[in-house]
């Protein structure tokens, strides 16, 4: 290693598997930004279910090993590569993607995936925007083409994507119905845009409806979709083009300025407890707000 190279703490994955494959190391070289890249001093990083699927090796996208997980960071610009003129050292920012991985003290990102974080939002909230809000926006506006006056059911609405979907749907004039499995979760769903909320753990509840997300297989009879002329639309935020990300970002930044986009923070973990965070985001008793790592 070159002398004088700055070192940092970062989580590394050397093999695919359970949460125990997440290894915190303290001798990782701090990346150096190239053209159109920035280096962010990470204050908080969002934990998303997709990161557990990638870590387990079951996701369609497999990173080259070893790698550092995490895409949604919030922090301060530490250094700017050539031609990344939109930012300067000291700017408060959040990202929707990183190059070097977000579960680390410093993260490298392409400048077009980095956005200014308004003063009214703290770093924890900044780390809760990325995948949840961009996914919810793509699902509702881009894929489902929702219109004001329509109704939307957000199943499992008390988690990161669910609350984002409630806030966006309410801001765009929809009637918002949400579900949550705990009393606390139901309260938070009502406080964040839902007109009505239901407990999806109650017997006979129509718990087969999902707006965004998947936790496994379900059986359907295609005939049931015919009489209702219903559609099933798959959504992945990773299919978004650069231009689409810019459109989503512009709409979401407006939401931050106006005040309807307000991430709700749930469980918080230090970097040392990353394995516990990965365990709980999948097997916890019901999400309330966005799970984040604090640095």
Reading phi first (left if > 0) and then psi (alpha if -120 to 50, else beta), residue 8 is in beta
Compute the distance between CA of residue 139 and CA of residue 154 in angstroms, rounded to an integer: 11
The mean pLDDT of 21-49, rounded to a whole number, is 97
pLDDT band at 209 (very low <50, low <70, confident <90, very high): very low
Question: Which residues have a Cβ under 8 Å from the Cβ of 240 and sit 6 or more positions away?
Answer: 134, 138, 142, 248
- Helix or strand or coil: residue 117? coil
Compute the distance between CA of residue 167 and CA of residue 194 in angstroms, rounded to an integer: 8
pLDDT score for 256: 97
pLDDT score for 1: 45
Nearest to 266 by CA among 95, 102, 125, 70: 125
Question: Which residues have a Cβ under 8 Å from the Cβ of 219 and sit 6 or more positions away?
Answer: none
pLDDT score for 186: 94
The mean pLDDT of 41-52, rounded to a whole number, is 96
Residue holding tokens 């979709």? Answer: 225
The answer, yes or no, to whether residue 206 has pLDDT greater than 70, is no
- Helix or strand or coil: residue 67? strand
pLDDT score for 207: 52
Average pLDDT, rounded, for the chain: 92
Residue 104 burial (10 A CB sphere; 0-12, 13-18, 19+): buried
pLDDT score for 141: 96
Q: What percent of the chain has pLDDT over 90?
A: 78
In a 13 Å sphere around the CA of 14, the CA atoms on its Cβ side amount to 4
Question: Which residues have a Cβ under 8 Å from the Cβ of 72 and sit 6 or more positions away?
Answer: 45, 46, 48, 94, 95, 96, 102, 127, 128, 129, 130, 131, 132
Nearest to 114 by CA among 90, 89, 133, 96: 96
pLDDT digits (tens, 9 = 90+) for 236-281: 888 899 999 999 999 999 999 999 999 999 999 999 999 999 999 9
> In DSSP terms, which residues pair with 269 in a beta bridge?
293
pLDDT band at 205 (very low <50, low <70, confident <90, very high): low
Query: Which CATH fold would you assign to the domain 7-128+263-294?
Result: Quinone Oxidoreductase; Chain A, domain 1 (3.90.180)
Here the tokens at position 169 are 């749907």
pLDDT band at 44 (very low <50, low <70, confident <90, very high): very high
pLDDT score for 84: 66
Q: Are strands 37-46 and 290-294 parallel, antiparallel or unpaired?
A: antiparallel
pLDDT digits (tens, 9 = 90+) for 152-175: 999 889 999 999 999 999 999 999
The answer, yes or no, to whether residue 3 has pLDDT greater than 60, is no
Here the tokens at position 135 are 């996914």
- Helix or strand or coil: residue 189? helix
Whether residue 93 has a cis bond before it, omega within 30° of 0: no
More confident residue, 203 or 18: 18
pLDDT digits (tens, 9 = 90+) for 181-203: 899 999 999 999 999 999 888 77
| Cβ-contact 104, 44 below 8 angstroms | no
Query: Which CATH fold would you assign to the domain 131-237?
Result: Rossmann fold (3.40.50)
Compute the distance between CA of residue 39 and CA of residue 282 in angstroms, rounded to an integer: 30
Compute the distance between CA of residue 96 and CA of residue 134 in angstroms, rounded to an integer: 8
SS3 of 96-115: the string is CCCCCCCCECEEEEEHHHEE
The mean pLDDT of 89-111, rounded to a whole number, is 97
Question: What are the boundaries of each domain within the chain?
Answer: 7-128+263-294, 131-237
């Amino acid at each position: 290693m070159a002398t004088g190279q700055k070192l940092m703490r970062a989580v590394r994955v050397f093999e695919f598997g359970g949460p125990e494959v997440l290894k915190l190391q303290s001798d990782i070289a701090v990346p150096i930004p190239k053209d159109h890249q920035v280096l962010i001093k990470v204050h908080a990083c969002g934990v998303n279910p997709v990161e557990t699927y990638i870590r387990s090796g079951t996701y369609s996208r497999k990173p080259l090993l070893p790698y550092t997980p995490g895409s949604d960071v919030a922090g301060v610009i530490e250094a700017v590569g050539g031609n990344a003129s939109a930012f300067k050292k000291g700017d408060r920012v959040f990202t929707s993607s990183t190059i070097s991985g977000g579960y680390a003290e410093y993260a490298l990102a392409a400048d077009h995936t980095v956005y200014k974080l308004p003063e009214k939002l703290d770093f924890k909230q900044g780390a809760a925007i990325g995948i949840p809000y961009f996914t919810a926006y793509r699902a509702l506006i881009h894929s489902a083409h929702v219109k004001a006056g329509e109704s939307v059911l957000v199943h499992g609405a008390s988690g990161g994507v669910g609350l984002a979907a409630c806030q966006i749907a309410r801001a765009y004039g929809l009637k918002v119905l949400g579900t949550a499995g705990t009393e606390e979760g139901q309260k938070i769903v009502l406080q964040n845009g839902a007109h009505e909320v239901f407990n999806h753990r109650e017997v006979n509840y129509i718990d087969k409806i999902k707006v965004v997300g998947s936790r496994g297989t379900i059986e359907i009879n295609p005939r049931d979709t015919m009489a209702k002329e219903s559609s099933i639309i798959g959504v992945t935020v990773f299919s978004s083009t650069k231009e689409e990300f810019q459109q989503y970002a512009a709409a979401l930044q407006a939401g931050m300025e106006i005040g309807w986009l307000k991430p709700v923070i749930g469980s918080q973990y230090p970097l040392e407890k990353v394995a516990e965070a990965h365990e709980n985001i999948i097997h916890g008793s019901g999400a309330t707000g966005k799970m984040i790592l604090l640095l």
